[in-house]
Amino acid sequence: MKNKLYVCLMLLFIIVLAACGSDESAANSDASAGKEEDAETTEETGADEEAEEAEPALETDGDIIATTVAIVEMMDALELDLVGVPTSYKDLPARYDGVTEIGMAMDPDMETILSLKPTDVLTVTTLTDYVQDSFSETDVPATYMNLDSVENMYEEIEALGDKYNREEHAAELVTDFEEKLAEVEAKIEGKESPKVLILLGVPGSYLVATENSYVGDLVRRAGGTNAIEDTDLEYVSANTEVLQQTDADIILRMSHGMPDEVVEMFHKEFQENDIWSHFKAVQNDRVYDLEETRFGTTANLAAVEALEELVGLLHRELAE
C-alpha cells in the first residue's frame, strides 16, 4: 500500500513539474516573442526616422524657360537651371550653354516652347500685350515679372527664391544690391537735380522714357528729374517742339534692339534736324548714348554699374 502511495505521489509531482515547465516555456516564449516584436518595432521606428532624415530635398528647378536675357541672368545668380533661353546677340551665362533657344522675347517660337513642356515660362510685364494671347491659347504656364524698377526687381528675385527653394540665394543677392546702390546714391546727397530727357530708340523711331520706366527709375536714383511728368505710362511719344519746351539739361539716348543702327539713327537725326541744335542739352554738349547691355528696358543685374555711370553723367564734378 505504501509503495503504491509513493508511486502515485511521484507521478503527481512529475505532472506538476511538467506543467510548470510548460508554463515557464510558454512564458519565456511569449517574452521572447515580445522582445522580438519590440525589436522589430524599434527597427521600424528607427528606419522611419532615418527615412525622414534622409528624405530628399524638394524639387527646385522644374522645366523652366526664361524669355529675356535679364531673367536668364537672375536665374543664373540663383543657380537655377533652364530648359529654354531667348535667342539673343548678347552673351548668356555659361550655365546655359547648349540650352534650347526659343526665339525673341517679344515673339517666341511657341512650337519650340510647347515641345519643351515647361512647368513655368518667365517673361516680363512690359511684353504682356505681345505674348499673353499665345500663352493663354496654348495653356502655357507663364509668370509675368515686373522689372520696371529696381525695387520691383528685388521683389521678383525674392519671389523666385520662394518659388524655387532659393530663399537664401535671393536674400543675399538683394542685400548685396541694396548695400551697393545705397553707397552710390550717397554720393549725390545734397547735389542739384538736373532735368533729364530720356529717348528710347528703336530702328526708325524713338519714344520718351518717363520716371515710371526702368531707366527713368535709375535717373531718379542718380539725382535727376525726368523732363516728362504727370503720366502713369512708362514711355510716351512726343514731337521735338514739345520736347524742346522741357528745357532739359541732359539728353540720354538709349537703344532697344539693333543698337548700332539705333545709335546711327540718333546721330543722323540730331545732325540733320535743325531743331535739336536749339536744345540746351545739345548746346552744352550734354547728350549721351547709353550702352544697351547696362541700360536695358527692364531692370537687370547691371543696375549698380548703370547707376554709377549715370551719377557720373548727371554730376560731372563727381566723375572728375
Model pLDDT for residues 47-92, shown as the tens digit of each residue: 444 444 444 444 455 799 999 999 999 999 999 999 999 999 889 9
Q: What is the mean pLDDT of residues 181-195?
A: 92
pTM comes to 0.78
How far apart, in whole angstroms, are the C-alpha atoms of residue 209 and residue 213?
6
Q: What is the mean pLDDT of residues 150-154?
A: 96
Distant-in-sequence, close-in-space partners of 176: CB < 8 Å, separation ≥ 6: none
Distant-in-sequence, close-in-space partners of 228: CB < 8 Å, separation ≥ 6: 197, 208, 209, 210, 211, 236, 238, 246
- For the chain, domains (ranges, CATH) are 64-184 (3.40.50.1980), 192-319 (3.40.50.1980)
Distant-in-sequence, close-in-space partners of 235: CB < 8 Å, separation ≥ 6: 200, 207, 208, 209, 210, 213
How far apart, in whole angstroms, are the C-alpha atoms of residue 292 and residue 281?
21
> What pLDDT, on a 0 to 100 scale, did the predictor assign at position 43?
47
Phi (first) and psi of residue 319, to 5 degrees: -90, -10
* Residue 36's pLDDT band (cuts 50, 70, 90): very low
The bridge status of strand 250-255 relative to strand 287-289 is: parallel
Model pLDDT for residues 199-222, shown as the tens digit of each residue: 999 888 899 999 999 999 999 999
